[in-house]
Structure 1
């Protein structure tokens, strides 16, 4: 599986009053990891997301499951690991991990569905599906 890695620093805005990584910040970090992973595959979400275009392609999170393992802290340097777990029709599932060194902070599984400008699911364009399938196959 192609594993993408993104370094993220925990800033004050990412923490609660006690300096611990706020649970909502995990989701932002995972979103950044998914976005950069797709960008590295050659998929630009902003280039396909014009909802006024009938051929628009938008990625919508259908399901987001997260398991918190250990706390993160202010100024930690973390790594978001992202990989494609599965792909089928208009959807793909992404497996993600948030790490501090070798310590697992959180793990997430995110189901993403491709939709058209009308909000209905649509198959991924063949070239895009091939990029995601290749990332999944190279596991």
Structure 2
């Protein structure tokens, strides 16, 4: 018998959906999710989004082409998540340049927005210097790029069920 596959997300249009369950280890002494765990959930959701787009980060790293590095991160906490909550991380690409990509991520519990982050990642050579992303990756990002007007209206919406 094969083991179950790890949790995975999916795209609904240009928005990547990634479900997360809050476990005891995610909470702090007060019983709410520790602030740094939102960053871990957002990182997992971004990695899964790239995998769903066909972007092979490990292959690029192993081939000596480079890897993504976070160059800018802004996060806002609005409501706490608690033990056993089902959280849905919604991610979308909001900006692309030859070397960077900006991704907006939101964590929801049902209709309640819990946290929001904007992350800019840069593709860097093994030396740490910025370099152009592989063209196929830029093309993949363009297939799910959310226009600024769409991003503004999507902020008003509730979550999409997974």
TM normalised by structure 2 equals: 0.80
| Pick aligned residue for 1:113 from 92, 110, 122 | 122
Alignment of 1:7-46 (within 5 A): 7-46=19-58
1:48 aligned residue: 60
How many angstroms does 1:137 deviate by? 5.3
1:76 aligned residue: 85
Q: How big is the alpha-carbon RMSD for the aligned residues of Structure 1 and Structure 2? A: 1.4
Query: Where has structure 1 moved over 4 Å in runs of 4 or more?
Result: none
Kept in 1, the 8 Å contact 2:92–2:146? The answer is: no
Secondary structure at the aligned position of 1:38 is classed as helix
Alignment of 1:97-108 (within 5 A): 97-108=106-117
1:93 aligned residue: 102
- Give the aligned length: 136
CA distance in 1, matches of 2:25, 2:122: 30
1:59 aligned residue: 68
Unmatched 5+ stretches in structure 1: none
Secondary structure at the aligned position of 1:136 is classed as coil
CA distance in 2, matches of 1:31, 1:99: 15
Using CA pairs under 8 Å that are at least 6 residues apart, name the structure with larger relative contact order, 1 or 2: 1
TM normalised by structure 1 equals: 0.93
Kept in 1, the 8 Å contact 2:26–2:34? The answer is: yes
